[in-house]
C-alpha cells in the first residue's frame, strides 16, 4: 500500500509518499512544493495542482491522507490556507484518489504517542520511523506523518475486521 500524505499551505505544500510492505514502512518521496512567489493566485494554484497530478501519475498511490484544520490565526490566513487545500484535494479527486482526513491530535498520537507533541517531536519520530538521515522542512515531515497515521489506521482496521 502506497499512501500520499499532504500538508497544504499558502506558501509551501509538504508532500510525502510512504509505502507499507509486510508491516514495514518505506519512504518513497519527500518533497516540498513551494508555490511560485510573486505570481497571481491562479498560477500558484495551477502550479500546485499540476505538480500533484504529476506525482500521482508517476507514483500511483492507492490513497491520500491530509490533516484536518481546526483553526487558523485569522480569517485571512484561513482563506489562503483553504485555497491551497482546495487545489490539493481537487488534484486527488481528479485522479480518483480517495482522501482521508485526520485530526491533528490523532496524527500526533499516532506518531509520538501523545496528542500534544510539538512539530519538532513529530519530525524527529518520522525520521526514526522511516529510518532516514534526511532533515526535511516541517511541512514535509507533517505530510509524511499523516501518511504514516493513515497506514497505521488502515492496519488497525484490517486487524479489527479479522477479530
- Residues annotated as catalytic are 7, 67, 139
Binds a copy of itself (CB under 8 A): choice among 32, 56, 89, 143: 89
Binds a copy of itself (CB under 8 A): choice among 31, 51, 80, 124: 80
By CB under 8 A, tell whether 154 contacts a copy of itself. Answer: no
| Among the listed residues 23, 45, 27, 28, the one whose alpha carbon sits nearest the alpha carbon of residue 36 | 45
Q: What is the largest CA-CA distance in the chain?
A: 55
Where in 44-73 is the site for a copy of itself (CB under 8 A)?
A: 45-46, 48-50, 69, 71-73
Beta bridge partners of 152: none
By CB under 8 A, tell whether 150 contacts a copy of itself. Answer: no
Min. distance of Cβ 35 from a copy of itself in angstroms? 12
Q: Which is nearer to a copy of itself, 98 or 155 (CB)?
A: 98
Give 161: exposed, middle or buried? Use CB within 10 Å, 0-12, 13-18, 19+.
Answer: exposed
- The H or E element containing residue 57 is helix 41-59
Amino acid at each position: 500500500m502506497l499512501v500520499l500524505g499532504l500538508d497544504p499551505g499558502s506558501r509551501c505544500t509538504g508532500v510525502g509518499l510512504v509505502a507499507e510492505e509486510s508491516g514495514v514502512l518505506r519512504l518513497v518521496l519527500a518533497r516540498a512544493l513551494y508555490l511560485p512567489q510573486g505570481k497571481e493566485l491562479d498560477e500558484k494554484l495551477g502550479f500546485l495542482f499540476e505538480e500533484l497530478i504529476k506525482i500521482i501519475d508517476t507514483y500511483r498511490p492507492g490513497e491520500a491522507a491530509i490533516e484536518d484544520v481546526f483553526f487558523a490565526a485569522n480569517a485571512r490566513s484561513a482563506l489562503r490556507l483553504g485555497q491551497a487545500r482546495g487545489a490539493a484535494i481537487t488534484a486527488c479527486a481528479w485522479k480518483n484518489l480517495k482522501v482521508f482526513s485526520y485530526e491533528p491530535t490523532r496524527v500526533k498520537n499516532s506518531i509520538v504517542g501523545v496528542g500534544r507533541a510539538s512539530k519538532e517531536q513529530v519530525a524527529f519520530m518520522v525520521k526514526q520511523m522511516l529510518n532516514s538521515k534526511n532533515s526535511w522542512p516541517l511541512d514535509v515531515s507533517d505530510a509524511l506523518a499523516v501518511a504514516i497515521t493513515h497506514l497505521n489506521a488502515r492496519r488497525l482496521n484490517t486487524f479489527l475486521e479479522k477479530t
